[in-house]
Every structure is written in structure tokens, then in C-alpha cells.
Structure 1
Amino acid sequence: MFLTIASFVCFTSLVAFLTWRITRNSDVESDEGYFLAGRSLTGVFIAGSLLLTNLSTEQLVGLNGDSFKDGLSVMCWEVVAGISLVILALVFLPRYLKSGIATIPQFLETRYGRSVRSVTAAIFIVAYMMILLPFVLFLGANGLNGMLGLHVKFGVSELTMIWMLLVFIATLGGAYAIFGGLKAIAVSDTFNGAGLLVGGLMITFFSLQLIAGSEGGFVGALAKIEAADPDAFQSLGTADESTHWPTLFTGVLLLNFFYWTTNQQIIQRTFGAKNLAEGQKGVLLAAFFKILAPLILVLPGIAAAYLVITVEDTQMIESVGMTDDGSWNTSRAYGALVARVLPNWLLGFFAAVVTGSILSTFNSVLNSAATLFSLDVYKQYISPSATGSQVRRSGQ
């Protein structure tokens, strides 16, 4: 337990220290410095922040749970996201940066007028504060506890542990968003993202290693899975799966286009790009990693299904369990796999990077909501003559 807590504190503290070190001389007094990082973000930080703002426990748990049931076909969410990011880089971002906007409602105002800007800003703010933030906090805390079994390790009830995690995430995430602004968020996202990439690949590595045993290596592990379930690696979903292939051209495509090209929470860091070239580099780098994301978000779920259904691994079966209708509880698949394959000495590090992913989503939503309120509500209606510093304080 001591080693777990120590490694968690060390990694979290390291990210905080590096973030402070890089951003300590940044301008957080003006509205542009606070909300747009002084338009100084380079491609690496834009890519890291884009990825980690998107990636949290709902993806780790949810997509791996879907792949447990449906196999590789659920990777469409990640692949289409990559396509959407390319379109953002080549089509939308040049127009956004040329217009000099800080929010999507500002962009809409140039074509549709002030009333559309106001309505859109109100919709975003209400959706973020009343729906997305509570959703991110609860699912993050619940997912983290489910993956690592923290309530058992600390000897408290599950509800108590979730409340403790809620307070911790909200406090730490709020500190980044309130005191550091967008630049602190983007920098910390990048370091946490690197950690999550390593941690996620470790789960995949250990899972395939367990399946392969002493025979065949990773290729052998994949061959075993395919032999047991030939449909596991079918990339096109069938009618009885959650992503039937025709939906790639309807719901999946439209949702991804909105999410990656017009969602303030996601693309605000691209508005803070140093220039168009850096912005496009960051977005295209993020697209590259989204294409590779199934290695972390899909393949572990397929491995978990093999261990449960084919190998009938006792620990995995007990951890996954059944739902009331007699089907496997796929929402527990990833957590069960983590508990099964991750060495105890890595538990604290993995907890830290997962916590970082939750923090990233939380503080990004908080920062975007503050940006929308300050620039589209406070500056427009409450105090039109406010200085940049006053506008910034209205969002803190």
C-alpha cells in the first residue's frame, strides 16, 4: 500500500512541478493570456491536450467494455475521430485562427448575428455545467474506484470512496483551471497524456503476455484470440452490434464532426496556437494517435473477453460478474483486466495517470465554461466596458 501511494504522489507531484516550471512566467492576468494561453501553444502541447481532454475513464471503461462484447468493430469511434481531426486541421482551423475568435459562438456571430451567439453560448454553458461536469466527475470517480478497487484497499464503503475521489478531483482540477488557465491545462495534459499512453500500453502488453504464455509471443496471443472467436477482429460491425457499419456514415460521422470541429471544450486549445502551422501540427499529431488508440481502448477488452469466455480465468470471471439479465457485466471488464495483469508496484503509477486523464477532462470543461461566460455573457451583457483583467476575473 505504501508503494502504491508513494508512486501515485510522486507522479502527480512531478506533473504539477513540471507544469509550474514551464508556465510560471506565463501571462494569466489578461483575458487572452488566461483563456487562450496568450496564443503561444505549440503543436506538442495542443496534441497532448486534445487527446487527454477527450480520453478519460469513460473511454477506457466504456470502449473496452464494448469491445469485450462486439470486438474490433467499436474502433470506428477512434478511426473516424482521426478523420474528423484532419478535417479540423485543413478546413476549419485556418478559418478559426484567421477570424481571431476565442469561442465558437463568436464564430457563429459573424455569419448569423448576435442572437445566435448568445443562444449558442447559453446552450454550451448549461450543457457543460449541468450535464457534462457532473457526468465527468461521477464516472471518473466511479471508474477509477472500479478499476483499482480503492474502497477495498482503504477499507471504506464504495460510496465513501467515490465521494472522496469526487472532492479530490474537483479540488485539484479546479486549481489547475482557476490559477493556471489554459496553458497550465495544456501542459499538464501533455505530461499526463504521455503517462497514460505508457500505462495503457502496459495493460495491453501484460494482457497479451498472459494470453500468449510461453508460446508464440504477441502474434501467438492474437492468433489464439482469433482461433477462439473469428469475429473478434472483424472491423465492420454487424446489425446486432453497437456500431453497425452503415452508422459510420451517419451517426458516428456526424457526432465526431461536431465533437472534434465545433465543440468548445475540445478545440479551445487550438485557438491558443502560436500560429496556424503549430495548430495544424498539433491537430494532425492528435489524429495520428487517435488512429493508434484502439491499442489502448479496444484491444484490452478483446483480451478480457478471451480470458473470461475461452480461458475461463477464475479471477476474471469473479471480477467481471453477471448483470441481472444473465449477460457479462462488460463495464467491469477493463477494471478486472487491470487487477489481473498489472503488478502491484505499478498500481500507484497507473492510478496517477488515470486520475490525470479525469482531471484533464474536468478542468478543460471548467475552463471552457468560464471562457464562454466571460467572453460571451459577461463582456457582452454584464460589463461591456470591462478591461481584460476584469473579464479574466469574471471567469475565475
Structure 2
Amino acid sequence: MLPPIAWANTSTMLLGHLDGADLGVLCCYFIIVFAVGIWSSCRNRGSVSGYFLAGRSMHWIPVGASLFASNIGSGHFIGLAGSGASSGIAIAMFEFNIVTVPEYLCKRLGGQRIRVYLSVVALLLYIFTKISADLYAGGIFIQQAMEISIYPAVILLLIISALFTIMGGLTAVIWTDFAQTVIMVIGAFYLSIRSLYLVGGFESLLVNYFNGIPNTTRAYKSVSFNPGNHSLTSLNPDLYGDNEDREKIRLMAGSAATGVGMYAECQIPAVDAMNFFKSVSSPDLPWTGAVFGLTINAVWYWCTDQVIVQRTLAAKNLSHAKGGIILAAIIKVLPLWLMVVPGMTARVLFAGRREVIELFRPLCSA
């Protein structure tokens, strides 16, 4: 692995700049996705089952890949990487010809009101908690890649998604999900390995992550000294900046800074950044929320969410449905290495970049 001195010059790397190779990769990506979408749009559209459930002919591999891609998208690539940088590390449905979760509950419990109620709730939840976030995150990606405004980027994303979904139904969605899963996993694997190589390996990341503090905010690091018996000149100049920065520390010290925990600002790594299970008082994700809160959310999402259940119902039989679920569960172990780790390495490599500081500022002021 490279020593720290070998990757120190990465602070000069250009951010948001695309050369010919980058544009070529983007063009190839869109061509592949469009080709898969057009090919799959011509299949299984002659019936309700064909349109909504892909004719129930899907193999377990595309089912599993579609489950993963339906869960993981641009919001996760951007959100998990940012979180890593700021915080650290049914058979009856086949038999009854059921297409949606509200339809299942209607047949299971009787009456149309519960079907309508659940449909409305699901639509509202998707609009305000998922679709809006995915569109925004995807728009940011297109904005940065193509250097256009966020609004045309979101409109472009909506048009492409609508064309595939309306013209091809679930068949087109699943096969494009499959293609994008392959692309995402391969690309993210390369990014993760490359980023770890640049920082000198995983052990080096564990050490240098805590030094990833932008120069403009080093002066605001939580301090435990008393100005009355400690000299400002004794402070580490690399950590606490110049004399003006040290004066800010002196003014914050004493009663004004005692117990405030200045390190909690997202520009300064938290001391428990490498802990999976954080304390109950953690401002990020305490262990109680991870164990109990996320478990409840996961049961709702993976067992009752229409997008996920619909992919499973598209399998040709129960065995393929189970196989797809198992495949998705295995792939779901990867986001730590494919998304969180690159975000953590970005903190080490680009902590002093002006663009990174500008990205941190609105988060810290929220």
C-alpha cells in the first residue's frame, strides 16, 4: 500500500471535471441501459400480468438484481458516501393472481376501503420520502456529470424513467435494473479499491480519517485546555491553524466551550465514527435506533412495500422468488465497502478542498 506521502498530492485533483474518457464511459452507460430497456420493452406487454408482473417469467438472478437496484440508487451512492464522510461506518399471492399489496389486503381482509386507503398512503409516502429524494439525488449526479442546472437534470431523469416504465412495464424495469446492478457493483468495486489504495489501505484509513478536517474549521475543534495555564503557542499549528485561529479557540475556551462538544459539527469527525453501534446519546444513529427503529422500517420496506413485493411476484415460481431474495440479501452486504468507504476516503483525500468545505457548510448549519 502507498505511504501517506504518496497520496498527499491528491488535494490538487480536479473535482467536477470530465475529460474524454469520462464522457465516453457515460455515453456507453446510457447506450447499454437504453438498449436493454428497448429490448425488454417489446416483451410481455399483452396482459395485466405481463405489464405489471413481467409475465411471471423472471429468473432468480434478475429478480435479485432488481431488488437490489430498487433499493440502492443515486440517493444511496450520494447519501451513504456523504454519511460515511461525515459520520463513519407469500405463496397465496401467486395462487390468487395478486398484482399489488393493496389488492392482497383487499382479498385477505375484504372491502375496498382498506385497498384505497393503503394505495393513497403508499403514494403519499413515496412522493414525500422516496421519489423526491431519488429525483434530487439523481439530479445532482446528472448535474455534476453533465454540468447542467438541477431542474433540467431532474426533468431528464423523469422523462427517461417514464418512457421505460410506461412503454415496457415491469419487464423493462427489471432488466434495466439488472443491467444497472452489474454496472453499479463493478464500478463501485473499482472506486472502493482505488480509493483505499490512494489512502494507503484500510488500516491507514482508520487512522487518517480522524485527521480529515478542513483547514477553515480546524480552529473550531473541541478543546479541553484552560487559557489560564496553557499557552496558545503550545497548540498543534497543523491542527489548530494560525494565530488568528488560535485566538478563536482561546475565546471559545473555558465556560463557553466546556461540555459543548464542538467536534459534533459534521466537519470534524466524531470520536465514535468507527463504531457500528453508537451510544444512546449519539447525534447520528444510536444503537437503539439501529436495532429497533431500522428493524421495524426494514420489515415494512422489504415485506410490504409495493416496489419490492412486485419484483418478487414477477418470479416464475416460489423457488426463483426465494433465490432472488437471497441474492439481494447477499449483495446488500456490499454498500459498506462500495459506498460508505469511498465517502470516508474522500474525507481524507479532499478535506482541504474548497468544494468540499462548501458542501459541508450547509450540513453543519442545518
Asked if TM exceeds 0.5, the reply is yes
Secondary structure of the residue that 1:291 maps to in structure 2?
coil
1:167 to 1:324, Cα distance in 2 relative to 1, 3 A: closer
- What is the aligned partner in structure 1 of residue 335 from structure 2? 293
State the Cα distance separating 1:31 from its structure 2 match.
0.9
Which structure would you say has the larger RCO, counting Cα contacts within 8 Å and 6 or more residues apart? 1
- What is the aligned partner in structure 1 of residue 252 from structure 2? none
Task: For residues 243-296 of structure 1, give each alpha carbon's deviation from its aligned partner in whole angstroms, at most 9, with x where no partner exists.
Answer: 101113321111111111101022211111100000110011000011122111
- What is the aligned partner in structure 2 of residue 119 from structure 1? 117
Task: For residues 163-185 of structure 1, give each alpha carbon's deviation from its aligned partner in whole angstroms, at most 9, with x where no partner exists.
Answer: 22122211111111011110111
Secondary structure of the residue that 1:32 maps to in structure 2?
helix
Pairing 1:196–2:194 present = no
- What is the aligned partner in structure 2 of residue 345 from structure 1? none
Aligned 8 A contact 2:135 2:157 in 1: yes
- What is the aligned partner in structure 1 of residue 134 from structure 2? 136
State the Cα distance separating 1:49 from its structure 2 match.
0.9
Give the counterpart of 1:254 among 280, 296, 301: 296
Task: For residues 112-144 of structure 1, give each alpha carbon's deviation from its aligned partner in whole angstroms, at most 9, with x where no partner exists.
Answer: 222211211222234445764344323320244
- What is the aligned partner in structure 1 of residue 162 from structure 2? 174
Secondary structure of the residue that 2:81 maps to in structure 1?
helix
1:327 to 1:307, Cα distance in 2 relative to 1, 3 A: farther
Aligned 8 A contact 2:70 2:308 in 1: yes
Aligned 8 A contact 2:91 2:318 in 1: yes
1:5 to 1:272, Cα distance in 2 relative to 1, 3 A: same
- What is the aligned partner in structure 2 of residue 215 from structure 1? none
CA distance in 2, matches of 1:323, 1:291: 28
- What is the aligned partner in structure 2 of residue 371 from structure 1? none
Q: Kindly report the root-mean-square deviation, in angstroms, between the aligned alpha carbons of the 2 structures.
A: 2.7
- What is the aligned partner in structure 1 of residue 71 from structure 2? 54
Structure 1: segments with no counterpart, 5+ residues:
73-92, 152-159, 213-217, 330-396
TM-score by length of 2: 0.70
CA distance in 2, matches of 1:5, 1:325: 30
State the Cα distance separating 1:96 from its structure 2 match.
3.4
CA distance in 2, matches of 1:122, 1:240: 35
- What is the aligned partner in structure 2 of residue 321 from structure 1? 358
Aligned 8 A contact 1:27 1:38 in 2: yes
- What is the aligned partner in structure 2 of residue 303 from structure 1? 345
State the Cα distance separating 1:20 from its structure 2 match.
3.7
Pairing 1:13–2:31 present = yes
TM-score by length of 1: 0.65
Aligned 8 A contact 2:209 2:347 in 1: no
One-letter code aligned to 2:110: G
- What is the aligned partner in structure 2 of residue 347 from structure 1? none
State the Cα distance separating 1:242 from its structure 2 match.
1.8
Pairing 1:33–2:50 present = yes
CA distance in 2, matches of 1:226, 1:172: 38
Aligned 8 A contact 1:37 1:182 in 2: yes
Aligned pairs, how many? 288
- What is the aligned partner in structure 2 of residue 209 from structure 1? 197
Task: For residues 16-52 of structure 1, give each alpha carbon's deviation from its aligned partner in whole angstroms, at most 9, with x where no partner exists.
Answer: 224444x366220211101110001111111111111
- What is the aligned partner in structure 2 of residue 383 from structure 1? none
Greater percentage in helix:
1
1:98 to 1:249, Cα distance in 2 relative to 1, 3 A: farther
1:326 to 1:44, Cα distance in 2 relative to 1, 3 A: closer
CA distance in 1, matches of 2:162, 2:156: 10
Task: For residues 198-219 of structure 1, give each alpha carbon's deviation from its aligned partner in whole angstroms, at most 9, with x where no partner exists.
Answer: 121222122111111xxxxx35
Query: Equivalences for 1:1-396 in 2 at 5 Å?
Result: 1-21=19-39, 23=40, 26-72=43-89, 93-114=90-111, 115-128=113-126, 132-146=130-144, 148=145, 150-151=146-147, 161-212=149-200, 218-222=201-205, 224-225=207-208, 231-238=272-279, 239-307=281-349, 313-315=351-353, 318-321=355-358, 323=360, 327=364
1:129 to 1:322, Cα distance in 2 relative to 1, 3 A: closer
% identical equivalent positions: 24
1:253 to 1:279, Cα distance in 2 relative to 1, 3 A: same
Deviates more, 1:225-234 or 1:115-124: 225-234
1:44 to 1:246, Cα distance in 2 relative to 1, 3 A: same
Deviates more, 1:267-276 or 1:229-238: 229-238
State the Cα distance separating 1:221 from its structure 2 match.
3.2
